[in-house]
C-alpha cells in the first residue's frame, strides 16, 4: 500500500506558515516589550507565555469559543474569507502558532535585551527606529532568532492537542502528521503510525541539531 | 554649552540602594570629567542628556536648544538631540566593518560627501576601514572607531561613558592625546564619565565629582586632590590617611595650628574658619608623610611612634601600613635600607595636614 503523504505535507505547510507568522508577530511583540513602556506590559508578557503552561484542551476550548462561528472574531473571519475558520487547515495554523509564538517572543526579547547597547548607539547616531531595527537589532540577534525559529518550527510541526480540538481530524483536509499518528494507532495501522513517527522524529531531530549549531555561537559574533 | 538641571528618583534595586539624582551644572566647550564611584548616577546623567532616560523634573539645554523641559513637557528623542554618545559598553555594530560603522553614522550626508568624510575619518583616526567591527580589531582601534563614529554627525555635545574601561595601559595612553586633539578641533562640550582618578588628570579640564546623584565638589583635578571638600571626598579620592582630631591652638600670625590626633599633638598650617576645641576631620596623602626607624631617639615635633603592620607593593614605591590607620608611601630603595627597623616614627610635615570641612 502506498504511503499517505498528505498528513506530512499538511504538517509541513502548517508549520512553515505558523513559523513565519510567529516570527513576524514575535519580533513585533519582543520589540514592543523591550523598547516601549506602556500600561499592561507585564500582563501582555504573561498572556504571551500562557500557551506554554496551559493544558492543550483548555487552550483548544478557548480558541473554539474565541474563533467559533458565533464569536465576533469567527464571524469577521467568515465574512472576509467566506468560510468558517474552525475545522480548516487555517485553524491548524492558529493552533501551531499558539506554541510557536511564546518561544519566539521569549528568545527575541532576550536577544533584543542583549543588543540594547547597539540600539542605543544607533539611535544616538540619528537612525530612525525602522533603520535601527533592520540594520542593527535584527542582524545582531539573527542567530538567536534563527535558533528560536527552528525550535518554533519543530514545535509547530508536532502540535497535537489544540490542533485536534480546533482543526479536527479530517483525513485529506485537516489531518496533520501528529493527529495522523493518533488516528493510525486508534485504527491499529501500525505501519502508517511508524512511518509518520519516524519522519516526524527525523525532522524534529534535524531542527534540534540545527538549533544547537546556530545557538552555540555567540550572538554578537 | 550644555546646561542641565535634573532630578530623578532612582528606586532601590538588587545592586544598589535607591537615591535621588539631583544635579545642576553647566559645561562649556572642552572636556569636563564627571568623576564618581560606580552607581553614583554618571550613566543615568548621560542617558538623561542623550534622551534615553526621562528625568522627573528639570531642564536640559544644549546651546540655545531645549532638549528636555519637564515643565513644558518637551522631550526630544535621542535622534533629534545630536549628542555623540560613546557608551560604557563597546557598541561597535558587530555585523558591520569599521567602514560600515562609520557609513551608518554618516547616512544623512549625500553619497559622495559621505564616502569622502568616511575616508578622511579612517585616515585621521588611523582605522583599518575594512576590518570587522568586533571580531578582529584590537581594543585601541575599537575605541578610536567609537570616538570617530560618534563625531560623524558633527554633534553639538559628546558624551563618553568610561571610554577607556578595559583598555590596556598602552591603549589608554594613546587615547588621551587623541581625545585632547578632538576636543580642540571640535570646539564642543565633551562630558567624560570615569571612576578612575588618573583619568581626570589625563583628560584635563574641569572635574565634577558626583556621589549618590549629587555634585559634591567641582574644580581642577589637582585642586580637588589637594583639598577634598569633605571626608567622603577624601575617601573617594583614595586618600589613605583620614583622621578625626581636636583643634588645641590656632595662631594666624604664625600661620600655625595645633591639633590633637590619637593622643598626639601635631602642628599644621593655620586652619581658617575653625575655633579652638573644634572637632575636625583631617587628611594627609601617604606620599607626603615620612617614616623612619626610631632607634631609641626622642620624639620630635610632629612625630608619632607607630608599629608597622603591613607592607603593600605599589608600582613605584611601597605603602607602609602602621598602627592607628596611618599609611606612608616610601621609595622601594629606602624601604630596603630600613626594613629591619623594630620601631618606627611617622612624621607629619605641617603642610601635609589638611582640614576637611
> B199 and B58, same structural domain?
yes
CATH number at residue B157: 3.40.50.300
Closest to B355 in 3D by CA, of B242, B265, B254, B251: B242
Element containing residue A214 per DSSP (H, E) = helix A190-215
B355: phi then psi, degrees, rounded to nearest 5: -90, 140
Which residue of A lies nearest to B102 if distances are taken between CA atoms?
Answer: A125
Count of pairs with CB atoms under 8 A, one residue in A, one in B: 63
Partner residues linked to B214 by β-bridges: B22, B211
Contacts of B91 in chain A (CB under 8 A): 117-118, 120-121
Of the candidates A123, A128, A221, the beta carbon closest to that of B94 is on: A221
> B187 and B100, same structural domain?
yes
Q: Are the beta carbons of B125 and B145 closer than 8 angstroms?
A: yes
Residue A132's pLDDT band, with cuts at 50, 70 and 90, is very high
Contacts of A131 in chain B (CB under 8 A): 107
Total Cβ atoms within 10 A of residue B275: 8
Query: Chain B: nearest CA to A30, how far in angstroms?
Result: 19
User: Residue A18: exposed, middle, or buried by beta-carbon count in 10 A (0-12, 13-18, 19+)?
Assistant: buried
Flag if A120 and B153 touch (Cβ within 8 Å).
Answer: no
pLDDT beyond 90 at B316: no
Flag if A117 and B149 touch (Cβ within 8 Å).
Answer: no
Query: Chain A: nearest CA to B272, how far in angstroms?
Result: 49
Which residue of A lies nearest to B53 if distances are taken between CA atoms?
Answer: A120
Which residue of A lies nearest to B153 if distances are taken between CA atoms?
Answer: A125
Sign of the alpha-carbon torsion through B89, B93, B97, B99:
negative
**Distance (Å, rounded) from C-alpha A176 to C-alpha A17?**
14
Mean pLDDT, chain B, whole residue set: 90
User: Which pLDDT belongs to residue A2?
Assistant: 59
Sign of the alpha-carbon torsion through A23, A24, A27, A33:
negative
User: Residue A81: exposed, middle, or buried by beta-carbon count in 10 A (0-12, 13-18, 19+)?
Assistant: exposed
Flag if A117 and B87 touch (Cβ within 8 Å).
Answer: yes
User: Which pLDDT belongs to residue B137?
Assistant: 75
Flag if B78 and A120 touch (Cβ within 8 Å).
Answer: yes
> B92 and B131, same structural domain?
yes
**Distance (Å, rounded) from C-alpha A82 to C-alpha A174?**
18
Greatest CA separation for chain A: 65
Of the candidates B79, B81, B89, the beta carbon closest to that of A127 is on: B79
The more confident residue out of B289 and A215 is: B289
Nearest-10 crossing angle of helices A89-114, A56-67: 110
> B122 and B248, same structural domain?
no
Q: Which of A2-6, B5-9, B15-19, B223-227 has the highest mean pLDDT?
A: B5-9
Residue B272: which domain range? 240-356
Closest to B217 in 3D by CA, of B238, B232, B198: B232
Of the candidates B78, B89, B152, the beta carbon closest to that of A117 is on: B89
> B343 and B201, same structural domain?
no
Q: Name the 3-class secondary structure at B31.
A: strand
Contacts of B151 (CB under 8 A, 6+ apart): B84, B121, B158, B182, B186
Cell numbers given for B92: 561597535
**Distance (Å, rounded) from C-alpha A34 to C-alpha B246?**
56
Which residue of A lies nearest to B148 if distances are taken between CA atoms?
Answer: A125
- pTM of the entire predicted model: 0.83
- Between 1.10.3720.10, 3.40.50.2000, 3.60.130.10, 3.40.640.10, what CATH number should domain A6-215 receive? 1.10.3720.10
Query: Chain B: nearest CA to A56, how far in angstroms?
Result: 37
Partner residues linked to B253 by β-bridges: none
User: Which pLDDT belongs to residue A212?
Assistant: 86
User: Which pLDDT belongs to residue B129?
Assistant: 62
Query: Chain B: nearest CA to A73, how far in angstroms?
Result: 38
Cα dihedral B14→B15→B20→B21 (10° resolution): -130
User: Which pLDDT belongs to residue A158?
Assistant: 86
Q: Which of B195, B212, B232 is the last residue of a domain?
A: B232
> B342 and B262, same structural domain?
yes
Flag if A127 and B78 touch (Cβ within 8 Å).
Answer: no
Contacts of A128 in chain B (CB under 8 A): 79
Q: Are the beta carbons of B30 and B220 closer than 8 angstroms?
A: no
Total Cβ atoms within 10 A of residue A164: 22
A104: phi then psi, degrees, rounded to nearest 5: -70, -45
B210: phi then psi, degrees, rounded to nearest 5: -120, 145
> B187 and B87, same structural domain?
yes
Q: Which of B196, B215, B232 is the last residue of a domain?
A: B232
Q: Could you say which DSSP state residue B132 is in?
A: B
**Arithmetic mean of pLDDT, A160-168:** 88
**Distance (Å, rounded) from C-alpha B135 to C-alpha A175?**
49
Cell numbers given for B25: 551644572
DSSP string covering B191-242: EEEES-HHHHHHH-SEEEEEETTEEEEEE-HHHHHHS-SSHHHHHHTT-SEE
Of the candidates B79, B89, B150, the beta carbon closest to that of A128 is on: B79
Which residue of B lies nearest to A140 if distances are taken between CA atoms?
Answer: B95
**Distance (Å, rounded) from C-alpha A152 to C-alpha A103?**
6
CATH number at residue B338: 2.40.50.100
Please report, for residues A174, B214, B276, B300, the alpha-carbon distance to residue B259 in angstroms, rounded to integers and kept in the order given: 94, 31, 9, 15
Q: Which of B200, B232, B264 is the last residue of a domain?
A: B232
pLDDT digits (tens, 9 = 90+) for B118-143: 999 999 998 876 665 555 678 888 89
Q: Cell 561613558 identifies what position?
A: B161
The more confident residue out of A84 and B150 is: B150
pLDDT digits (tens, 9 = 90+) for A178-188: 999 998 999 89
**Distance (Å, rounded) from C-alpha B146 to C-alpha B139?**
10
Flag if B85 and A121 touch (Cβ within 8 Å).
Answer: yes
> B351 and B303, same structural domain?
yes
Which of A122, A124, A136 to mutate to probe the B interface, most B CBs <10 Å? A124
> B60 and B85, same structural domain?
yes
Query: For residue A37, how many C-alpha atoms fall within 13 Å in the half-sphere facing its CB?
Result: 3
Query: Chain A: nearest CA to B80, how far in angstroms?
Result: 7
Percent of chain B with pLDDT over 90: 58
How would you classify the pairing of strands B189-194 and B157-161?
parallel
Which residue of B lies nearest to A36 if distances are taken between CA atoms?
Answer: B52
Rounded to a whole number of angstroms, the distance between the first and last alpha carbons of chain B is: 31
Q: Could you say which DSSP state residue B329 is in?
A: E
Q: Name the 3-class secondary structure at A211.
A: helix
Q: Are the beta carbons of B159 and B84 closer than 8 angstroms?
A: yes
Residue B170's pLDDT band, with cuts at 50, 70 and 90, is confident
Contacts of A122 in chain B (CB under 8 A): 93, 104
Of the candidates B84, B90, B135, the beta carbon closest to that of A124 is on: B84
Contacts of B77 in chain A (CB under 8 A): 123
Flag if A121 and B79 touch (Cβ within 8 Å).
Answer: no
Question: Could you give the ipTM of this predicted complex?
Answer: 0.83
What are the extents of the domains in chain A? 6-215
Please report, for residues A18, A100, B43, the alpha-carbon distance to residue A89 in angstroms, rounded to integers and kept in the order given: 11, 16, 52
Number of domains present in the structure of chain B? 2
Partner residues linked to B326 by β-bridges: B322
Which of A122, A125, A146, A221 to mutate to probe the B interface, most B CBs <10 Å? A125
Q: Name the 3-class secondary structure at B246.
A: strand
User: Which pLDDT belongs to residue B167?
Assistant: 86
Cell numbers given for A100: 510557536
pLDDT digits (tens, 9 = 90+) for A47-93: 999 998 989 889 999 998 998 878 889 889 888 888 888 888 999 99
**Distance (Å, rounded) from C-alpha A209 to C-alpha A83?**
39
Which residue of B lies nearest to A221 if distances are taken between CA atoms?
Answer: B94
Which residue of B lies nearest to A220 if distances are taken between CA atoms?
Answer: B94
Closest to B84 in 3D by CA, of B181, B161, B173: B161
Residue B14's pLDDT band, with cuts at 50, 70 and 90, is low
Flag if B153 and A135 touch (Cβ within 8 Å).
Answer: no
Residue B235's pLDDT band, with cuts at 50, 70 and 90, is confident
Amino acid at each position: 500500500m502506498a504511503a499517505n503523504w498528505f498528513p506530512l505535507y499538511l504538517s509541513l505547510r502548517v508549520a512553515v506558515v505558523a513559523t513565519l507568522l510567529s516570527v513576524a508577530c514575535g519580533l513585533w511583540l519582543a520589540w514592543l516589550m523591550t523598547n516601549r513602556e506602556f500600561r499592561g506590559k507585564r500582563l501582555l508578557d504573561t498572556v504571551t507565555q500562557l500557551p506554554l503552561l496551559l493544558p492543550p484542551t483548555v487552550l483548544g476550548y478557548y480558541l473554539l469559543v474565541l474563533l467559533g462561528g458565533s464569536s465576533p472574531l469567527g464571524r469577521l473571519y467568515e465574512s472576509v474569507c467566506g468560510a468558517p475558520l474552525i475545522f480548516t487547515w487555517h485553524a491548524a495554523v492558529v493552533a501551531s502558532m499558539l506554541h510557536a509564538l511564546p518561544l519566539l517572543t521569549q528568545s527575541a526579547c532576550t536577544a533584543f535585551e542583549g543588543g540594547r547597547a547597539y540600539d542605543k548607539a544607533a539611535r544616538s547616531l540619528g537612525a530612525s527606529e525602522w533603520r535601527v531595527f533592520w540594520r542593527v537589532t535584527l542582524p545582531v540577534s539573527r542567530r538567536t532568532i534563527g535558533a528560536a525559529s527552528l525550535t518554533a518550527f519543530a514545535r509547530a510541526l508536532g502540535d497535537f492537542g489544540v490542533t485536534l480540538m480546533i482543526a479536527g481530524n479530517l483525513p485529506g483536509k485537516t489531518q496533520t502528521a501528529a493527529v495522523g499518528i493518533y488516528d493510525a494507532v486508534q485504527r491499529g495501522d501500525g505501519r502508517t503510525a511508524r512511518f509518520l513517527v519516524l519522519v516526524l522524529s527525523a525532522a524534529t531531530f534535524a531542527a534540534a541539531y540545527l538549533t544547537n549549531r546556530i545557538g552555540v555561537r555567540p550572538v554578537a559574533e | 554649552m550644555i546646561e542641565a538641571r535634573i532630578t530623578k528618583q532612582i528606586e532601590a534595586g538588587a545592586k544598589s540602594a535607591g537615591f535621588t539624582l539631583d544635579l545642576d551644572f553647566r559645561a562649556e566647550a572642552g572636556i569636563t570629567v564627571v568623576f564618581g564611584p560606580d552607581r553614583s548616577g554618571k550613566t543615568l546623567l548621560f542617558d538623561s542628556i542623550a534622551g534615553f532616560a526621562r528625568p522627573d523634573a528639570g531642564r536640559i539645554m544644549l546651546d540655545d536648544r531645549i532638549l528636555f523641559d519637564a515643565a513644558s513637557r518637551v522631550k526630544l528623542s535621542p535622534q533629534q538631540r545630536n549628542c555623540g554618545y560613546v557608551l560604557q559598553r563597546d557598541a561597535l555594530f558587530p555585523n558591520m566593518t569599521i567602514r560600515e560603522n562609520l557609513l551608518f553614522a554618516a547616512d544623512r550626508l549625500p553619497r559622495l560627501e559621505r564616502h569622502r568624510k568616511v575616508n578622511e575619518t579612517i585616515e585621521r583616526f588611523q582605522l583599518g576601514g575594512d576590518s570587522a567591527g568586533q571580531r578582529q580589531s584590537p581594543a585601541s582601534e575599537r575605541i578610536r572607531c567609537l570616538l570617530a563614529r560618534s563625531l560623524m554627525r558633527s554633534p553639538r555635545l559628546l558624551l563618553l561613558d568610561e571610554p577607556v574601561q578595559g583598555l590596556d595601559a598602552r591603549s589608554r595612553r594613546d587615547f588621551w592625546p587623541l581625545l585632547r586633539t578632538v576636543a580642540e578641533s571640535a570646539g564642543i562640550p565633551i562630558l567624560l564619565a570615569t571612576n578612575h582618578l588618573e583619568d581626570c588628570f589625563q583628560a584635563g579640564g574641569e572635574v565634577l565629582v558626583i556621589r549618590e546623584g549629587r555634585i559634591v565638589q567641582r574644580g581642577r583635578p589637582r585642586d580637588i586632590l589637594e583639598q577634598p571638600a569633605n571626608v567622603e571626598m577624601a575617601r573617594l579620592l583614595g586618600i589613605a590617611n583620614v583622621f578625626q582630631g581636636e583643634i588645641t591652638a590656632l595662631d594666624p600670625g604664625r600661620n600655625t595650628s595645633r591639633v590633637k590626633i590619637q593622643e598626639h599633638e601635631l602642628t599644621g598650617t593655620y586652619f581658617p574658619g575653625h575655633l579652638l576645641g573644634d572637632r575636625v576631620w583631617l587628611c594627609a596623602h601617604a606620599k607626603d608623610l615620612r617614616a623612619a626607624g626610631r632607634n631609641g631617639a626622642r620624639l620630635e615635633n610632629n612625630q608619632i611612634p607607630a608599629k608597622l603592620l603591613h607592607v603593600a607593593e605599589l608600582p613605584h614605591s611601597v605603602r607602609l601600613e602602621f598602627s592607628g590607620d596611618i599609611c606612608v608611601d616610601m621609595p622601594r630603595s629606602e624601604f630596603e635600607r630600613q626594613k629591619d627597623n623594630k620601631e618606627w616614627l611617622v612624621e607629619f610635615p605641617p603642610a601635609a595636614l589638611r582640614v576637611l570641612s
